[in-house]
Amino acid sequence: MKKLSLSIFFVVFLFSFSLNASNENLYKKLDTFGDVFQTIRSNYVTTINEEEVIEAAINGMLQSLDPHSSYMNLDNYKDMQEETNGKFGGLGIEVTMENGFVKIISPIDGTPGAKAGIQPGDYITHIDDESIFGLSLTEAVDQLRGLVGTTVKLKIARENEEEPLDISITRAIITVEAVKYRKEGNVGYIKLISFSEQADRGIKKAIKALTTEIGKDKIIGFVLDLRNNPGGLLGQSIEVTDNFLTSGEIVSTKGKDKSNIGSFKASRGDMTNGKPIIVLINRGSASASEIVAGALQDHKRAIIVGEQSYGKGSVQTIFPLNDRSAIRLTTALYYTPSGDSIHKIGITPDIEVTRSKKSDPADNTDNQLDYALDLLIKDSIIN
Protein backbone atom coordinates (compact mmCIF):
# COMPACT_ATOMS: atom_id res chain seq x y z
CA MET A 1 0.00 0.00 0.00
CA LYS A 2 2.84 2.36 0.80
CA LYS A 3 4.36 2.01 -2.67
CA LEU A 4 1.00 2.25 -4.35
CA SER A 5 0.24 5.42 -2.42
CA LEU A 6 3.41 6.90 -3.91
CA SER A 7 1.88 6.65 -7.38
CA ILE A 8 -1.23 8.39 -6.07
CA PHE A 9 1.04 11.07 -4.57
CA PHE A 10 2.65 11.59 -7.97
CA VAL A 11 -0.74 12.14 -9.61
CA VAL A 12 -1.64 14.62 -6.86
CA PHE A 13 1.77 16.24 -7.34
CA LEU A 14 1.10 16.73 -11.04
CA PHE A 15 -2.37 17.98 -10.25
CA SER A 16 -1.20 20.56 -7.73
CA PHE A 17 1.47 22.02 -10.03
CA SER A 18 -0.12 21.86 -13.44
CA LEU A 19 -3.84 21.14 -13.50
CA ASN A 20 -6.42 23.43 -15.00
CA ALA A 21 -9.85 22.06 -14.15
CA SER A 22 -11.19 22.87 -17.60
CA ASN A 23 -8.39 21.07 -19.41
CA GLU A 24 -9.79 17.64 -20.27
CA ASN A 25 -6.65 16.62 -22.17
CA LEU A 26 -4.60 17.00 -19.03
CA TYR A 27 -7.02 14.79 -17.10
CA LYS A 28 -6.56 12.18 -19.82
CA LYS A 29 -2.76 12.43 -19.54
CA LEU A 30 -2.97 11.88 -15.80
CA ASP A 31 -5.13 8.83 -16.43
CA THR A 32 -2.59 7.65 -18.98
CA PHE A 33 0.20 7.96 -16.43
CA GLY A 34 -1.74 5.79 -14.01
CA ASP A 35 -2.42 3.25 -16.76
CA VAL A 36 1.24 3.10 -17.77
CA PHE A 37 2.40 2.66 -14.19
CA GLN A 38 -0.13 -0.09 -13.52
CA THR A 39 0.83 -1.86 -16.76
CA ILE A 40 4.51 -1.76 -15.77
CA ARG A 41 3.73 -3.14 -12.29
CA SER A 42 1.71 -6.00 -13.72
CA ASN A 43 3.64 -6.96 -16.83
CA TYR A 44 7.30 -5.93 -16.67
CA VAL A 45 9.66 -8.88 -17.02
CA THR A 46 11.05 -8.54 -13.48
CA THR A 47 9.75 -7.10 -10.24
CA ILE A 48 10.31 -3.36 -10.27
CA ASN A 49 11.31 -1.00 -7.49
CA GLU A 50 8.17 1.08 -7.63
CA GLU A 51 9.55 4.03 -5.70
CA GLU A 52 12.55 4.29 -8.01
CA VAL A 53 10.29 4.19 -11.07
CA ILE A 54 8.13 6.98 -9.67
CA GLU A 55 11.19 9.06 -8.78
CA ALA A 56 12.55 8.60 -12.30
CA ALA A 57 9.22 9.75 -13.73
CA ILE A 58 9.22 12.87 -11.55
CA ASN A 59 12.81 13.65 -12.43
CA GLY A 60 12.14 13.10 -16.13
CA MET A 61 9.33 15.64 -15.99
CA LEU A 62 11.58 18.22 -14.34
CA GLN A 63 14.58 17.53 -16.58
CA SER A 64 12.36 18.08 -19.63
CA LEU A 65 12.06 21.72 -18.53
CA ASP A 66 15.75 22.62 -18.22
CA PRO A 67 19.00 21.08 -16.93
CA HIS A 68 18.81 22.93 -13.60
CA SER A 69 15.41 21.63 -12.46
CA SER A 70 15.52 18.27 -10.72
CA TYR A 71 14.00 15.99 -8.11
CA MET A 72 15.83 15.25 -4.87
CA ASN A 73 14.89 12.24 -2.80
CA LEU A 74 15.49 12.31 0.95
CA ASP A 75 19.21 11.52 0.67
CA ASN A 76 19.81 13.94 -2.23
CA TYR A 77 18.00 16.72 -0.37
CA LYS A 78 20.11 16.13 2.71
CA ASP A 79 23.28 16.24 0.59
CA MET A 80 22.16 19.53 -0.97
CA GLN A 81 21.62 21.08 2.45
CA GLU A 82 25.10 20.00 3.51
CA GLU A 83 26.56 21.61 0.37
CA THR A 84 24.81 24.90 1.12
CA ASN A 85 26.23 24.86 4.64
CA GLY A 86 29.72 24.53 3.18
CA LYS A 87 30.54 20.91 4.06
CA PHE A 88 29.77 17.83 1.98
CA GLY A 89 31.23 14.63 0.58
CA GLY A 90 32.29 14.09 -3.02
CA LEU A 91 34.71 15.34 -5.67
CA GLY A 92 34.30 19.11 -5.39
CA ILE A 93 32.82 19.79 -8.82
CA GLU A 94 29.74 21.77 -9.83
CA VAL A 95 27.91 20.08 -12.69
CA THR A 96 24.92 20.28 -14.99
CA MET A 97 23.49 18.04 -17.70
CA GLU A 98 23.96 18.84 -21.38
CA ASN A 99 23.51 16.68 -24.49
CA GLY A 100 23.01 13.58 -22.37
CA PHE A 101 26.31 13.92 -20.48
CA VAL A 102 27.44 15.63 -17.31
CA LYS A 103 29.07 18.99 -18.02
CA ILE A 104 31.48 20.58 -15.59
CA ILE A 105 30.46 24.11 -14.64
CA SER A 106 33.43 24.49 -12.36
CA PRO A 107 35.78 22.52 -10.11
CA ILE A 108 35.89 24.11 -6.65
CA ASP A 109 39.38 25.32 -5.81
CA GLY A 110 41.36 23.12 -3.44
CA THR A 111 39.10 20.06 -3.84
CA PRO A 112 40.00 16.64 -5.32
CA GLY A 113 38.32 17.54 -8.61
CA ALA A 114 40.36 20.70 -9.05
CA LYS A 115 43.60 18.99 -8.00
CA ALA A 116 43.00 16.17 -10.50
CA GLY A 117 42.85 18.67 -13.35
CA ILE A 118 39.11 18.83 -14.05
CA GLN A 119 38.34 21.99 -16.08
CA PRO A 120 35.22 24.07 -16.73
CA GLY A 121 33.52 22.85 -19.89
CA ASP A 122 34.70 19.24 -19.54
CA TYR A 123 32.13 16.53 -20.24
CA ILE A 124 31.98 13.35 -18.16
CA THR A 125 30.98 10.56 -20.52
CA HIS A 126 31.79 7.49 -18.38
CA ILE A 127 31.96 6.78 -14.65
CA ASP A 128 34.02 3.71 -13.72
CA ASP A 129 34.00 2.64 -17.38
CA GLU A 130 30.18 2.74 -17.60
CA SER A 131 28.54 5.21 -20.00
CA ILE A 132 26.29 7.72 -18.28
CA PHE A 133 24.36 8.58 -21.44
CA GLY A 134 20.66 8.48 -20.63
CA LEU A 135 21.07 8.96 -16.88
CA SER A 136 19.45 11.89 -15.15
CA LEU A 137 21.71 14.43 -13.47
CA THR A 138 20.66 13.12 -10.05
CA GLU A 139 21.53 9.55 -11.04
CA ALA A 140 24.93 10.60 -12.37
CA VAL A 141 25.71 12.63 -9.26
CA ASP A 142 24.79 9.63 -7.10
CA GLN A 143 27.42 7.61 -8.96
CA LEU A 144 30.02 10.33 -8.48
CA ARG A 145 29.47 10.32 -4.75
CA GLY A 146 30.73 7.49 -2.59
CA LEU A 147 32.62 6.56 0.52
CA VAL A 148 35.39 8.90 1.55
CA GLY A 149 38.76 7.52 0.43
CA THR A 150 37.38 5.51 -2.48
CA THR A 151 38.41 6.31 -6.04
CA VAL A 152 36.19 6.99 -9.02
CA LYS A 153 37.45 6.80 -12.61
CA LEU A 154 36.08 9.38 -15.04
CA LYS A 155 36.33 9.49 -18.81
CA ILE A 156 36.45 13.14 -19.88
CA ALA A 157 35.76 14.71 -23.27
CA ARG A 158 37.56 18.05 -23.48
CA GLU A 159 37.51 20.74 -26.13
CA ASN A 160 40.60 20.67 -28.39
CA GLU A 161 41.56 17.20 -27.15
CA GLU A 162 41.26 14.52 -29.84
CA GLU A 163 41.17 11.59 -27.43
CA PRO A 164 39.11 11.30 -24.22
CA LEU A 165 41.01 11.68 -20.96
CA ASP A 166 40.96 9.16 -18.11
CA ILE A 167 41.07 10.89 -14.74
CA SER A 168 40.90 9.10 -11.38
CA ILE A 169 39.79 11.07 -8.34
CA THR A 170 39.72 10.01 -4.69
CA ARG A 171 36.54 11.05 -2.94
CA ALA A 172 36.85 13.22 0.16
CA ILE A 173 34.85 15.24 2.63
CA ILE A 174 34.64 18.62 0.94
CA THR A 175 34.88 21.50 3.37
CA VAL A 176 34.43 24.69 1.40
CA GLU A 177 36.11 27.70 2.93
CA ALA A 178 34.08 30.41 1.23
CA VAL A 179 36.74 33.13 1.28
CA LYS A 180 40.53 33.24 1.25
CA TYR A 181 42.57 36.42 1.21
CA ARG A 182 46.10 37.74 1.29
CA LYS A 183 47.98 40.93 0.53
CA GLU A 184 49.84 41.31 -2.76
CA GLY A 185 52.07 44.28 -2.04
CA ASN A 186 49.66 47.12 -1.40
CA VAL A 187 46.76 45.30 -3.05
CA GLY A 188 44.19 43.25 -1.20
CA TYR A 189 43.54 39.92 -2.94
CA ILE A 190 40.23 38.19 -2.09
CA LYS A 191 39.35 34.77 -3.47
CA LEU A 192 35.62 34.00 -3.19
CA ILE A 193 35.35 30.25 -3.67
CA SER A 194 31.61 29.70 -3.28
CA PHE A 195 28.45 31.54 -2.32
CA SER A 196 27.67 29.41 0.71
CA GLU A 197 26.21 30.84 3.90
CA GLN A 198 29.68 32.02 4.91
CA ALA A 199 30.34 34.16 1.81
CA ASP A 200 29.22 37.61 2.97
CA ARG A 201 30.72 37.15 6.41
CA GLY A 202 34.00 36.08 4.83
CA ILE A 203 34.12 39.07 2.46
CA LYS A 204 33.56 41.51 5.32
CA LYS A 205 36.31 39.86 7.34
CA ALA A 206 38.71 39.93 4.37
CA ILE A 207 38.15 43.63 3.58
CA LYS A 208 38.62 44.66 7.20
CA ALA A 209 41.69 42.47 7.74
CA LEU A 210 43.44 43.56 4.53
CA THR A 211 42.71 47.23 5.12
CA THR A 212 44.20 46.95 8.61
CA GLU A 213 47.19 44.85 7.52
CA ILE A 214 48.18 47.01 4.55
CA GLY A 215 47.03 50.30 6.04
CA LYS A 216 43.98 52.39 5.24
CA ASP A 217 46.09 55.05 3.52
CA LYS A 218 48.45 52.62 1.78
CA ILE A 219 46.07 50.08 0.25
CA ILE A 220 45.62 50.92 -3.43
CA GLY A 221 42.76 48.57 -4.32
CA PHE A 222 41.31 45.08 -4.30
CA VAL A 223 41.24 42.08 -6.63
CA LEU A 224 38.07 40.02 -6.21
CA ASP A 225 38.73 36.61 -7.72
CA LEU A 226 35.54 34.84 -8.87
CA ARG A 227 37.23 32.38 -11.22
CA ASN A 228 35.88 28.82 -10.99
CA ASN A 229 33.21 30.00 -8.57
CA PRO A 230 30.07 28.08 -9.57
CA GLY A 231 27.71 30.26 -7.56
CA GLY A 232 25.38 29.28 -4.75
CA LEU A 233 22.88 31.27 -2.73
CA LEU A 234 21.22 34.21 -4.48
CA GLY A 235 20.91 36.11 -1.20
CA GLN A 236 24.63 35.82 -0.59
CA SER A 237 25.44 37.28 -4.02
CA ILE A 238 23.33 40.32 -3.14
CA GLU A 239 24.94 40.70 0.29
CA VAL A 240 28.44 40.34 -1.15
CA THR A 241 27.82 42.95 -3.87
CA ASP A 242 26.35 45.36 -1.30
CA ASN A 243 29.77 45.57 0.34
CA PHE A 244 31.15 47.39 -2.72
CA LEU A 245 28.30 49.74 -3.70
CA THR A 246 26.86 52.82 -2.04
CA SER A 247 23.56 52.73 -3.94
CA GLY A 248 21.77 51.39 -7.00
CA GLU A 249 20.28 48.13 -8.17
CA ILE A 250 22.26 44.93 -7.75
CA VAL A 251 20.04 42.47 -9.60
CA SER A 252 16.43 42.01 -10.61
CA THR A 253 14.49 38.79 -11.06
CA LYS A 254 11.52 38.04 -13.27
CA GLY A 255 9.32 34.97 -13.16
CA LYS A 256 5.73 33.81 -13.61
CA ASP A 257 4.85 34.09 -9.92
CA LYS A 258 4.72 37.58 -8.43
CA SER A 259 6.92 36.39 -5.56
CA ASN A 260 9.72 35.83 -8.10
CA ILE A 261 9.56 39.37 -9.48
CA GLY A 262 11.76 41.79 -7.60
CA SER A 263 14.62 44.22 -7.55
CA PHE A 264 17.42 44.20 -5.02
CA LYS A 265 19.30 47.40 -4.26
CA ALA A 266 22.45 48.34 -2.40
CA SER A 267 21.87 49.81 1.03
CA ARG A 268 24.93 49.38 3.25
CA GLY A 269 27.64 51.55 1.76
CA ASP A 270 31.04 50.74 0.26
CA MET A 271 33.29 48.99 2.77
CA THR A 272 36.36 49.73 0.61
CA ASN A 273 35.77 53.50 0.67
CA GLY A 274 35.82 53.71 -3.12
CA LYS A 275 39.15 51.92 -3.64
CA PRO A 276 39.61 50.55 -7.20
CA ILE A 277 38.40 46.98 -7.71
CA ILE A 278 39.26 44.43 -10.37
CA VAL A 279 37.09 41.33 -10.67
CA LEU A 280 38.57 38.18 -12.21
CA ILE A 281 36.21 35.80 -14.03
CA ASN A 282 36.46 32.80 -16.34
CA ARG A 283 34.11 30.26 -17.89
CA GLY A 284 33.87 28.53 -14.51
CA SER A 285 32.30 31.68 -13.01
CA ALA A 286 28.56 31.07 -12.90
CA SER A 287 25.27 32.15 -11.40
CA ALA A 288 25.90 34.19 -8.22
CA SER A 289 29.39 35.04 -9.49
CA GLU A 290 27.85 36.56 -12.59
CA ILE A 291 25.40 38.59 -10.50
CA VAL A 292 28.30 40.19 -8.61
CA ALA A 293 30.43 40.76 -11.70
CA GLY A 294 27.49 42.10 -13.71
CA ALA A 295 26.39 44.55 -11.03
CA LEU A 296 29.88 45.93 -10.40
CA GLN A 297 30.47 46.20 -14.15
CA ASP A 298 27.19 48.00 -14.88
CA HIS A 299 27.78 50.49 -12.06
CA LYS A 300 31.35 50.99 -13.32
CA ARG A 301 32.49 50.11 -9.84
CA ALA A 302 34.97 47.49 -11.03
CA ILE A 303 36.93 46.47 -14.09
CA ILE A 304 36.16 42.91 -15.14
CA VAL A 305 39.24 40.99 -16.33
CA GLY A 306 39.55 37.45 -17.67
CA GLU A 307 37.33 35.28 -19.87
CA GLN A 308 33.64 35.06 -20.76
CA SER A 309 31.70 33.60 -17.82
CA TYR A 310 29.48 30.51 -17.91
CA GLY A 311 26.05 32.07 -18.52
CA LYS A 312 23.72 30.65 -15.86
CA GLY A 313 21.17 33.41 -15.41
CA SER A 314 18.34 31.44 -13.86
CA VAL A 315 17.10 31.21 -10.29
CA GLN A 316 16.22 27.86 -8.75
CA THR A 317 13.85 27.58 -5.80
CA ILE A 318 13.76 24.56 -3.49
CA PHE A 319 10.26 23.24 -2.81
CA PRO A 320 10.22 20.72 0.09
CA LEU A 321 7.63 17.95 -0.30
CA ASN A 322 5.60 16.11 2.30
CA ASP A 323 7.79 13.00 2.28
CA ARG A 324 10.91 15.10 3.09
CA SER A 325 12.13 14.98 -0.49
CA ALA A 326 12.20 18.17 -2.56
CA ILE A 327 12.32 19.57 -6.06
CA ARG A 328 14.68 22.19 -7.41
CA LEU A 329 12.68 24.26 -9.89
CA THR A 330 13.71 27.14 -12.12
CA THR A 331 11.35 29.94 -11.09
CA ALA A 332 12.92 33.11 -12.51
CA LEU A 333 15.62 34.65 -14.65
CA TYR A 334 17.84 37.35 -13.24
CA TYR A 335 18.92 40.57 -14.93
CA THR A 336 21.87 42.88 -14.40
CA PRO A 337 21.20 46.55 -13.49
CA SER A 338 21.36 47.48 -17.18
CA GLY A 339 18.47 45.09 -17.85
CA ASP A 340 20.53 42.42 -19.61
CA SER A 341 19.96 38.72 -19.09
CA ILE A 342 23.20 36.76 -19.14
CA HIS A 343 21.40 33.40 -19.40
CA LYS A 344 23.33 31.19 -21.86
CA ILE A 345 25.49 34.24 -22.71
CA GLY A 346 27.60 35.12 -19.69
CA ILE A 347 29.41 38.25 -18.59
CA THR A 348 31.82 39.69 -21.13
CA PRO A 349 35.00 40.99 -19.43
CA ASP A 350 36.06 44.61 -19.96
CA ILE A 351 39.54 43.31 -20.64
CA GLU A 352 39.91 39.80 -22.02
CA VAL A 353 42.91 37.93 -20.67
CA THR A 354 43.10 34.24 -21.49
CA ARG A 355 44.62 32.00 -18.84
CA SER A 356 48.12 31.02 -19.94
CA LYS A 357 48.85 27.30 -20.11
CA LYS A 358 52.01 28.08 -18.22
CA SER A 359 50.00 29.40 -15.27
CA ASP A 360 50.23 27.07 -12.28
CA PRO A 361 48.66 27.87 -8.89
CA ALA A 362 51.07 25.41 -7.27
CA ASP A 363 54.01 27.74 -7.94
CA ASN A 364 51.99 30.98 -7.90
CA THR A 365 52.26 31.69 -11.64
CA ASP A 366 49.00 33.28 -12.73
CA ASN A 367 49.04 35.61 -15.73
CA GLN A 368 45.46 36.83 -15.17
CA LEU A 369 46.15 37.83 -11.58
CA ASP A 370 49.47 39.40 -12.60
CA TYR A 371 47.64 41.50 -15.19
CA ALA A 372 45.09 42.66 -12.60
CA LEU A 373 47.79 43.58 -10.09
CA ASP A 374 49.77 45.52 -12.72
CA LEU A 375 46.62 47.37 -13.73
CA LEU A 376 45.93 48.47 -10.16
CA ILE A 377 49.53 49.53 -9.58
CA LYS A 378 49.64 51.56 -12.83
CA ASP A 379 46.31 53.18 -11.98
CA SER A 380 47.58 54.21 -8.54
CA ILE A 381 50.72 55.72 -10.09
CA ILE A 382 48.65 57.67 -12.64
CA ASN A 383 46.30 58.95 -9.95
| 297 CB-near residues (< 8 Å, 6+ apart) | 279, 304, 336, 347, 350
User: In terms of Cα–Cα distance, which of 301, 299, 302, 297 is closest to 347?
Assistant: 297
Say which of 109, 200, 242, 298 is annotated catalytic: 298
As beta bridge partners, residue 249 has: 265
Say which of 287, 289, 309, 325 is annotated catalytic: 287
Say which of 155, 191, 312, 325 is annotated catalytic: 312
Specify whether the CB–CB gap between 230 and 289 falls below 8 A.
Answer: yes
Helices (H), 215-271: 234-242
Taking CA 264 as the corner, what is the angle to CA 260 and CA 83, rounded to the nearest 5 degrees? 70
Task: Answer yes or no: 312 catalytic.
Answer: yes
User: In terms of Cα–Cα distance, which of 193, 176, 188 is closest to 228?
Assistant: 193
- Buried (b) or exposed (e) across 168-189, using 16+ Cβ within 10 A? ebebbebebebbebeebeebbb
Helix 288-298 vs helix 234-242: crossing angle, to nearest 10: 30
Task: Answer yes or no: 18 catalytic.
Answer: no
| 8 CB-near residues (< 8 Å, 6+ apart) | none
Centre a 10 Å sphere on the Cβ of residue 212 and count the other Cβ atoms it contains: 10
Task: Answer yes or no: 287 catalytic.
Answer: yes
* Catalytic residue annotation: 287, 298, 312
